[in-house]
A and B are shown apart, each in its own frame.
Chain A
């Protein structure tokens, strides 16, 4: 529970009260839409959290080290892209992992690709993305996003020294 989410919540609640004060009918409508939205998404979102639990527990982080501990070649960047897209979780986990990989001898550009795809692409949540935006959008967003992740690796390779 970080500060930002508490701020979000307080803004939302105050705004709802303000809406009620201004116009009771609009306030009720906003609450009804919010409740419907919340309840209709709850099963999928809960499913995602359960899957994240399995992922965290049954896919050991040592796999990442085993395959990317000394990664520097072109194929290693692709592998980093796949690992990053599969991985899910808060950036709090990603950054320490990135540092550990650099210490282990992975190239900085490989770590950049890994972190970029970690924050940009989420295979686990593709299902929810599909429901919201449809096939065309999801396919292109993820493909273009993956290319960007590789380009970020290149950017770091060129300018970080």
Chain B
């Protein structure tokens, strides 16, 4: 499914709609639940659409960035920043990048795929995902509920673990792939 294949975007969209298990499971659930509780089902649709609306700009932006990365960024740069040769510095950079990302992570996956295909190591991508759990813009909000001490320990822990997690995940993934 290379997006570079010159099939028409609408054809691609229809094909993806036909084969999207997640979408069909959701629709079947909705039809079933509609008979169980009509009112709640309608509320659920409204809630789902409201998240869609809230994240729509991020969704579009991520798609734009995927296109821009493909055109602008040479594999050499990604290798230098996030490849094996970048060493520990690459992982630290990855964790910092992760803390800056906002939005649900299933929206940013395509950017990470792009990084992998351009030579980023698995550990770097795993560290980005791990550090993404730190929602930097939400830190003051969290502190208002749980206190600064909790929030600093909590997010500090998330950051430190994200550095280590990258390496561990990469080690396990490579080992599993070798054995398969």
Contacts and interface: CB of A to CB of B under 8 A. Distances in A.
Interface of A: 1-6, 8-9, 11-13, 15-16, 19, 26-27, 29-54, 56-58, 91-92, 95-96, 98-99, 102, 108, 111-112, 115-116, 119-120, 122, 125, 127-129, 132-133, 136-137, 139-141, 144-145, 148, 151-152, 155-156, 159-160
Given A34-B64, A137-B122, A152-B158, A145 B22 contact: no
A36 B29 CA distance: 28
A34 B47 CA distance: 27
Interface in B51-100: 51-55, 57-68, 70-72
Interface string B145-173: 11001100110011001000100110011
Contact of A52 (B30, B47, B110, B142): B47
Nearest to A98: B146
Which 9 A-B pairs rank lowest in CB-CB distance, beginning with the nearest? Answer: A53-B48, A34-B67, A47-B23, A47-B22, A12-B64, A53-B44, A30-B67, A50-B26, A33-B67
B150 A108 contact: yes
A4 B137 contact: yes
Contacts of A136: 172-173, 176-177, 180
Interface of B: 1, 3-4, 9-10, 12-13, 16-17, 20-27, 29-30, 33, 37, 40-41, 43-49, 51-55, 57-68, 70-72, 102-107, 109-110, 112-113, 116, 122, 125-126, 129-130, 133-135, 137-138, 141-142, 144-146, 149-150, 153-154, 157-158, 161, 165, 168-169, 172-173, 176-177, 180
A30 B116 CA distance: 18
B144 to A, nearest CB: 8
A145 B106 contact: no
Given A30-B64, A53-B43, 15 more contacts: A9-B58, A27-B71, A31-B67, A33-B66, A34-B64, A39-B16, A58-B33, A95-B142, A95-B144, A116-B157, A128-B22, A133-B109, A140-B172, A141-B169, A160-B150
A53 B41 CA distance: 8
A53 B46 contact: yes
23 contacts: A8-B58, A9-B61, A19-B71, A26-B72, A30-B72, A33-B70, A40-B1, A50-B23, A50-B29, A53-B45, A53-B49, A54-B26, A57-B43, A91-B135, A95-B141, A98-B145, A120-B133, A132-B109, A132-B112, A137-B126, A137-B169, A141-B130, A145-B165
A58 B34 CA distance: 12
A69 B64 CA distance: 44
